[in-house]
Amino acid sequence: MLLLIENEQGVDFLDPAVDGHLDISRINHYYLIDGQRILQYHANLDAPKMMKIVYREELGRYGLLVFLNVHGEHRSYNSSLIEYDGYPADTIRIQLNNSSDPYLNLGYSKVWINGEMQHHLTQPIVLVK
């Protein structure tokens, strides 16, 4: 999932050229499992926090690429919490996709951010801080 983090004027908070921008060291990602916050950090991965900041040429801006927990043998939903240094956190809730349809291979079929359902699952989601 690609998140675009900006202010009310549309300034990209992930752009390193912006004063006070958010770099990956100022963002934490937690999987919420059975009422527990599990900080994501796996040193052996290219994206140890299960997210990374990427520049998207087609958008002309930076985005936060978040790798959600799409596994859950006994769950229908999973949630993540994204905490930003100096800004309100965001909660992402997904309905797990148990379909074998290759066109629905996102691992999830519905997304809510801060309780609001998202309708374009393959599009970047803009979050205003």
Number of domains present in the structure of the chain: 1
- Edge-to-edge strand ranges of the sheet holding 77-84: 36-39, 27-33, 77-84, 87-96, 108-113, 116-118
- C-beta of residue 113 within 8 angstroms of C-beta of residue 125: yes
Averaged over successive runs of 10 residues, the pLDDT of the chain (129 residues) comes to: 94 95 96 92 96 97 93 78 94 81 65 92 91
Residue 120 structural domain: 2-128
User: How far is CA 46 from each of CA 13, 51, 60, rounded to the nearest angstrom?
Assistant: 22, 9, 23
Q: What is the pLDDT of residue 103?
A: 55
Q: What is the pLDDT of residue 26?
A: 95
Q: What is the pLDDT of residue 73?
A: 60
Q: What is the pLDDT of residue 101?
A: 59
